Amino acid sequence: MTQSDREIRQAGVRRTIWRSVAALVGMFAFAFALVPLYDVFCRVTGINGAVDTTAQSIVHEEVDESRMVTVQFITRNGSGLPWRMEVETRQVRMHPGQTTEVHFTFSNQSGGESWGRAVPGVSPATATRHVRKVSCFCFEEQKLQAGERLELPLVFQLARDLPPEVNTVTLVYTLYPVEGKSEPLQTAGAQNKEGEEA
Amino acid sequence: MAPKVPPQPTLEQSTSAVDAGHGHHHAHEAPPKGIMRWLLTTNHKEIGSMYLIFSLIMFFIGGIFALVVRLELFQPGLQFVNPEFFNQMTTMHGLIMVFAAVMPAFTGLANWMIPLQIGAPDMALPRLNNFSFWLLPVAFGLLLSTLLMPGGGPNFGWTFYAPLSTTYAPPSTTFFILSLHIAGISSILGAINIIATILNMRAPGMRMMDMPLFVWTWLITSFLLIAVMPVLAGVITMMLMDINFGTSFFNAAGGGDPVLFQHLFWFFGHPEVYIMILPAFGIVSAIIPAFARKRLFGYASMVYATAAIAILSFMVWGHHMFVVGMPLAGQLFFMYATMLIAVPTGVKVFNWVATLFRGSISFEPPMLFALAFVVLFTIGGFSGLMLAIAPADFQYHDTYFVVAHFHYVLVPGAVFAIMAGVYYWLPKWTGHYPNVRLAQWHFWLSVIGVNLTFFPMHFSGLAGMPRRIPDYALQFADFNFVSSLGAFLFGFSQLLFVAVIILCVRGGKKAPAQAWGEFADDLEWSVPSPAPLHTFETPPTFQRPAH
Amino acid sequence: MWGVIKSVLAAFLGVQRDQQRREDFERGSPLAFIVTGIVMGVLLVAIIALVAFLAAG
Amino acid sequence: MRTLLVWLAGGLALVGSSQVALARGWNMPVGVTDLSGEIYSLHMIIFWICVVIGVVVFGVMFYSLFRYRHSQGAKAANFHENTTVEIIWTTVPLLILVGMAVPATATLQKIYDPSDAELDVMITGQQWRWRYEYLGEDVAFNSNLATPRAQIRGEEERGEHYLLEVDEPLVLPINRKVRFLFTSDDVLHAWWVPELAVKQDTVPGFVTENWVQINEPGIYRGQCAELCGVDHGFMPVVVHAVEEDEFDAWLVERQEMAAEEAMGVDRDWEMDELMERGEGVYGSICASCHQPEGQGAPPAFPALAGNEELIAGIEWHKDVVINGVSGTAMPAFRTTLNPVELAAVITYTRNAWGNDTGDAVQPAEIAERLAQ
């Protein structure tokens, strides 16, 4: 094999390496790009029941009085937040196109201030896009002082084009502490770090 | 891909910064002695041997973990290990077998055989080759050491679904992530090296469509590796950040989504299973024609089917997630796409059978393993087809039926193909034929052991036994009893494999250059047996086979 | 062009004649095949997705 | 005898016979809903398709292996392609698959229609038990493994329903469409009952749904199907399907029981009563992590026996049990246990295994704290 043959080969090898490295970097970036892409995809299609975290505006459309849909509200507590969360009514019956307001009560039962976040979910997932939330406590993190009580509204419209097979929509809110903002435990906990891994 | 060889030079004046050829020449003038020789070798044959020996050791370590699992499952009740350790064993068995046994074994075969099959003196990047091998012992030494750490090793299954592997994971998970990163880098570097070798180092006159199928399948596998290993790296980096830096990629409490983990993991994971089977297709496609004394039926369609499988493998990941609650359209899309992938896979099986048809067949050890591969891999393919039917998958999902399916594809599939390849190329590596009688015993005990182990798992799965449980209800007892017996039979018969290899290295019937007759006629059979340390330093002129 | 499409289609199905394959590879630039392959790959995904969405109603 | 059968079946199945696989206990159950029956027939159709293809392919293969043996002097032919044959063996499978996709799609469409349900049940996975809430009915309870640990360790004879029995089964009416909502408190779980053909992952922070309409009364057993930690193998599902009027009566009974329990909150409880109740709650809820003797399994699950923090801080102790600890396996029990159970289990853990604080926590005190 002559010297020039070898150089031709080396040039080819080098080109292959650069292309491979470019592909690698691209794919690594792609993996991270998938996180926001998945998020956007889910919000557009509503496939995982995750809802928009920003307020939408009411669309003025005729109320479809021929259909009656049950909307259920479920509140759940994640671990680590000494709050009670309650909803004034467990379910409402409404027509597609209608707008409704429901009140949720939050109370901090501990001796210190803490931050919480209510993570929303919708079932069935196909209904997600058709629940337009105008105002929701779930859009932002909440702060409660020791013993404080807070009543917050959820205002939403059920879109008229709700798929016909859906006649029950369930809205679920799971309350989680905001990491780093809440004191995890208020009393004896501070003395012994071990216990926090309980 | 450029069909023309050699590629046109783009830079007339190349510097010798990465001039592998030169380093190579210096290396073999005065090879270092003892351990340093193996630490520093840049010879593709020596590195290939190291990969193969490493993967064989790991095969036994992963096998011991599997036997711990099967021992506990031998009877109902908890007898030998506690559930926590049981979970570590299932996890480690999966991780070691996938990343430390099967993948390095194929890389080892690639290192040994690709330069020989394309008439190249060595891999394109010999020093990188040495580095990517030595990353592996580091990675898996680290992974195995997690078993001794407080809180134990990884216990969340080889699929490490979040949040079990993040918020709820043992403290050693950070080391698990690190070791997977190192193993991933090793695979990526190996893949780059193989692509660079195949695209640039072929003998003058050998076009892409003249390459042996083992080379073709490895080329496509390397592209898959480059496409998906960075995604795996991304996923485990996100896990690392969730665990140590307070991010919430997969943590619902912080606004993340645990299901996103599964999408990302299986976007890597599904092509990964093809990474473990495509090179097997290449090996079997070399062995069957050799012992049927007839050219491979449909070479071109084999290449195209491999490419089609590789492309389709990127759009079927969702079939691993049929029960997470995907929308109907998503279920249907993944179901249709998955069913479609059966077509090119079927084409391959049909081609092998058509090669056998009207051949002149003999049953040497490599052929025995290759034939068992065709039958048993196809059985694994059938259960795969059943799993593709989304409504039926609601019943199969996460049961022993799935365990049976992927073990049929990977053990008598990938592992048997590796063994077939070892028996096929041992004469080239050692200059001796393997002991036929011992090899036959190894084959028959393995075939019986594999089927006793995995066939009853179809029944226990259909009857309702979930996977990854350390104890089970009484109606599954008989199936598990048989599976455990089979597993021990299979496990211990692998000692015969080691015996055959050692005996073959030390002596045996002398093999000529073209050890398996005129239909095993790829370029590796044109060099003497055993292959000298340096081959094709002057490139051969490639001539297309006459028949 | 039709020839290229036919070859790529054959590749998708995994069916190809040796003769045709030889002709394909003597045609020179592989670019046409790669581009056609990618386009048809995207098309395939689109068709499956379309059928899935139609069936899902 | 059955073992012998398995051996035989393994062998027979290898040569292509599948008759044995159809015997009861070897195959997927037909189940007790319309959809489970449809899924069963899809399973059998695709199974027989595979068998037929297998017989043809392996038939040709083994015929070739036998007929064209080199040792019998077979001379190899010299063909290596045939476009017609290749097109046939590509299109025929394609058509079979299309034929298979049609009924599969139809079944899937039915599964995805949860409309017109008469009863909603929320199913929550928690390490390692299930919680069932009958939405709008004020009935909710936890369902734990009932098999004694002694059976698992082999110290006692194993019962007929070993590992598939629970303290409180899910009771459902037949002939009514029941909608399930699934979620999880911690990691992924999967709720699965083969006879109902329902398997659904439970995902923390998200809700998924599925439904059943059971045709026959009976007891149906299943298990968690998604690896969820140490006791993944020990969280069974048991469903009691009963006649509709029986179900209505059961529901009323449960509501009355809950009311009675609520009354117990107001009275003063004796230490002995609390300890006895607390031991029961501890055994079914806490012992799987903190271990039966309170010794824990560090680092994941801290010991309770001799835990100085626990002994020193009664308020902290209540807080941990009621609200849980974020980022760990310790859930909030504020809604999953009632005030009596909470008070009892706190009292128990403060006085058992030599903790001996002498504290008796009254249910009324807990109830007040929860109602703030």
Do the Cβ atoms of A80 and D324 come within 8 Å? yes
Task: Tell the residue number behind the tokens 């930690």, with chain if given.
Answer: D229
CA C30, distance to chain mean position in Å, is: 13
pLDDT digits (tens, 9 = 90+) for B165-213: 998 889 899 999 999 999 999 999 999 999 999 999 888 888 888 899 9
Residue D48 confidence (pLDDT) above 90: yes
pLDDT at A40: 72
pLDDT digits (tens, 9 = 90+) for D284-318: 888 888 888 888 887 778 888 888 888 888 888 88
- Spatial separation of the C-alpha atoms in residues D131 and D140, rounded to whole Å: 7
Residues D249-266 have a mean pLDDT of: 86
Q: Residue D130, SS3?
A: strand
pLDDT at B308: 83
To the question of domain D31-72+79-111 being in CATH 3.30.365.10, the answer is no
For B289, residues 6+ apart whose C-beta sits below 8 A from its C-beta are B295, B296, B355, B519
pLDDT band at D86 (very low <50, low <70, confident <90, very high): confident
Do the Cβ atoms of C52 and B330 come within 8 Å? yes
Of A8, A16, A25, nearest to B6 by CB-CB distance is A8
Q: What share of chain C is helix, strand, coil (3-state, %, to 5)?
A: 80, 0, 20
Q: Residue C28, SS3?
A: coil
Q: What is the DSSP string of B480-500?
A: HHHHHHHHHHHHHHHHHHHHH
Phi and psi at residue B322, in whole multiples of 5°?
A: -60, -25
Token pair listed for B505: 């290295």
**Does residue B18 lie in a domain region?**
no
pLDDT band at C14 (very low <50, low <70, confident <90, very high): low
- CA B300, B303, B305, B308: dihedral to nearest 10 degrees? -130
In chain D, residues with a C-beta closer than 8 Å to the C-beta of A188 are 309, 312-313, 315-316
Number of structural domains (chain B) is 1
Do the Cβ atoms of D185 and A74 come within 8 Å? no
Specify whether B306 is catalytic.
Answer: no
Residues A1-29 have a mean pLDDT of: 83
**Does residue B288 lie in a domain region?**
yes
Choice between B368 and A195, residue whose per-residue pLDDT is larger = B368
Please say whether the beta carbons of D289 and D295 come within 8 A.
no
Specify whether B218 is catalytic.
Answer: no
Do the Cβ atoms of A17 and B20 come within 8 Å? no
Task: Tell which residue, B309, B294, B138, has the closest CA to residue B220.
Answer: B309
Q: Domain range for residue B522?
A: 39-526
Token pair listed for B546: 């006459």
Q: Give the mutation candidate from C13, C15, C16, C23 for the D interface (greatest D CB count, under 10 A).
A: C15
Q: Count CB-CB contacts under 10 A for residue B12.
A: 9
Phi and psi at residue A152, in whole multiples of 5°?
A: -130, 145
Task: Tell which residue, B409, B160, B443, has the closest CA to residue B309.
Answer: B409
Sign of CA dihedral B519, B520, B522, B528: negative
Sort strands D119-126 and D177-184 into parallel, antiparallel or unpaired.
parallel
How much is the mean pLDDT over chain D? 86
Measure B302 CA to nearest chain C CA, in Å: 7
Do the Cβ atoms of A176 and B252 come within 8 Å? yes
Of D7, D46, D74, nearest to B389 by CB-CB distance is D46
Phi and psi at residue D219, in whole multiples of 5°?
A: -110, 120
pLDDT at B13: 35
Domain residues of chain D, as ranges?
Answer: 31-72+79-111, 119-261, 264-371
Question: What's the residue count for chain C?
Answer: 57
pLDDT above 70: percentage of residues in chain D: 94
> Among B13-22, B99-108, D183-192, which is the least confidently predicted range?
B13-22
For A183, residues 6+ apart whose C-beta sits below 8 A from its C-beta are A112, A113, A114
Question: What's the residue count for chain A?
Answer: 198
Please say whether the beta carbons of B181 and B234 come within 8 A.
no
pLDDT above 70: percentage of residues in chain B: 94
Of D80, D86, D112, nearest to C15 by CB-CB distance is D86
pLDDT at B545: 60
Number of structural domains (chain C) is 1
CATH code assigned to D119-261? 2.60.40.420
**b/e per residue B62-99 (b: at least 16 CB within 10 A):** bbebbbbbbbbbbbbbbeebebbbbbbbbbbbbbbbbb
Size of interface B-D (CB pairs under 8 A): 305
Do the Cβ atoms of D181 and A124 come within 8 Å? no
pLDDT at A8: 83
Tell me how far apart the terminal alpha carbons of chain D are, to the nearest angstrom. 64
Choice between B276 and A137, residue whose per-residue pLDDT is larger = B276
pLDDT at B300: 83
Size of interface C-D (CB pairs under 8 A): 17
In chain D, residues with a C-beta closer than 8 Å to the C-beta of C13 are 87, 90
What is the model's pTM?
A: 0.89
Omega before D191 within 30 of 0, i.e. cis: no
pLDDT band at B307 (very low <50, low <70, confident <90, very high): confident
Residue A187 confidence (pLDDT) above 90: no
Contacting chains of B (3 CB pairs or more, <8 Å) are A, C, D
Catalytic-role residue among B165, B345, B446, B484? B345
Q: Domain range for residue C18?
A: 2-56
Do the Cβ atoms of C15 and B301 come within 8 Å? yes
Tell me how far apart the terminal alpha carbons of chain C are, to the nearest angstrom. 36
pLDDT above 90: percentage of residues in chain D: 42
Residue B82 confidence (pLDDT) above 50: yes
How much is the mean pLDDT over chain B? 89
Specify whether B320 is catalytic.
Answer: yes
- Spatial separation of the C-alpha atoms in residues D89 and B349, rounded to whole Å: 10
Specify whether B55 is catalytic.
Answer: no
Do the Cβ atoms of A16 and B200 come within 8 Å? yes
- To the nearest 10 degrees (0 to 180), the angle between helices B278-292 and B103-118 is 50
Phi and psi at residue B7, in whole multiples of 5°?
A: -65, 150
**b/e per residue B297-324 (b: at least 16 CB within 10 A):** bbbbbbbbbbbbbbbbbbbbbbbbbbbb
Residue B437 confidence (pLDDT) above 90: yes
Measure D117 CA to nearest chain B CA, in Å: 18
Task: Tell which residue, D108, D118, D112, D104, has the closest CA to residue D213.
Answer: D118
pLDDT at B27: 46
pLDDT band at B3 (very low <50, low <70, confident <90, very high): very low
pLDDT at D251: 92
Of B2, B298, B344, nearest to C30 by CB-CB distance is B2
Measure B160 CA to nearest chain D CA, in Å: 10
- Spatial separation of the C-alpha atoms in residues B326 and B257, rounded to whole Å: 13
- Spatial separation of the C-alpha atoms in residues A48 and A41, rounded to whole Å: 10
- CB contact, 8 Å: D3 with chain C? no
Residues B458-476 have a mean pLDDT of: 93
- CB contact, 8 Å: B76 with chain A? no
Residues of B within an 8 Å Cβ radius of C: 1-3, 207-209, 298-302, 304-305, 307-308, 311, 315, 327-330, 332-333, 336-337, 340, 343-344, 347-348
Do the Cβ atoms of B304 and C30 come within 8 Å? no
Burial of B183 per CB tally in 10 Å (0-12, 13-18, 19+): buried
Specify whether B122 is catalytic.
Answer: yes
pLDDT digits (tens, 9 = 90+) for A93-109: 888 888 888 888 888 88
Q: Give the mutation candidate from D78, D79, D80, D81 for the C interface (greatest C CB count, under 10 A).
A: D81
pLDDT at B186: 95
Measure D27 CA to nearest chain A CA, in Å: 32
Do the Cβ atoms of C17 and D81 come within 8 Å? yes
In chain C, residues with a C-beta closer than 8 Å to the C-beta of B299 are 18
Do the Cβ atoms of D120 and A72 come within 8 Å? yes
- Which residues are paired to A73 by β-bridges? A171
pLDDT digits (tens, 9 = 90+) for A48-92: 656 666 667 777 777 888 888 888 888 888 777 888 888 888 888
In chain D, residues with a C-beta closer than 8 Å to the C-beta of B456 are 6, 9-10
Q: Give the mutation candidate from D83, D91, D109 for the C interface (greatest C CB count, under 10 A).
A: D83
**Does residue B2 lie in a domain region?**
no
pLDDT at A5: 77
Please say whether the beta carbons of B260 and B231 come within 8 A.
no
pLDDT band at D17 (very low <50, low <70, confident <90, very high): very low
Q: What is the CATH number of the domain that holds B250?
A: 1.20.210.10
pLDDT at C24: 60
In chain A, residues with a C-beta closer than 8 Å to the C-beta of D121 are none
pLDDT above 90: percentage of residues in chain B: 72
pLDDT digits (tens, 9 = 90+) for B10-69: 333 333 333 434 444 444 556 677 788 888 889 999 999 999 999 999 999 999 999 999
Interface predicted TM-score (ipTM): 0.86
pLDDT at C13: 62
Phi and psi at residue A80, in whole multiples of 5°?
A: 100, 5
Of B9, B196, B228, nearest to A17 by CB-CB distance is B196
CATH topology for D264-371 is Cytochrome Bc1 Complex; Chain D, domain 2 (1.10.760)
Specify whether B28 is catalytic.
Answer: no
Interface of C with D in 15-54 (CB under 8 A): 15, 17-18
Q: Count CB-CB contacts under 10 A for residue D191.
A: 28
Residues D194-201 have a mean pLDDT of: 94
For B418, residues 6+ apart whose C-beta sits below 8 A from its C-beta are B102, B105, B106, B109, B280, B283
Residues D73-92 have a mean pLDDT of: 84
Do the Cβ atoms of D310 and A80 come within 8 Å? no
pLDDT digits (tens, 9 = 90+) for D324-357: 887 777 888 888 888 888 888 899 989 888 888 8
Sign of CA dihedral D236, D241, D246, D247: positive
pLDDT at B336: 92
Q: Residue D67, SS3?
A: helix
In chain A, residues with a C-beta closer than 8 Å to the C-beta of D309 are 188-189, 191-192, 194-195
Residue A7 confidence (pLDDT) above 90: no
**Does residue B123 lie in a domain region?**
yes
pLDDT at C18: 61
Query: Which residue is closest to B230 within chain A, CA to CA?
Result: A28
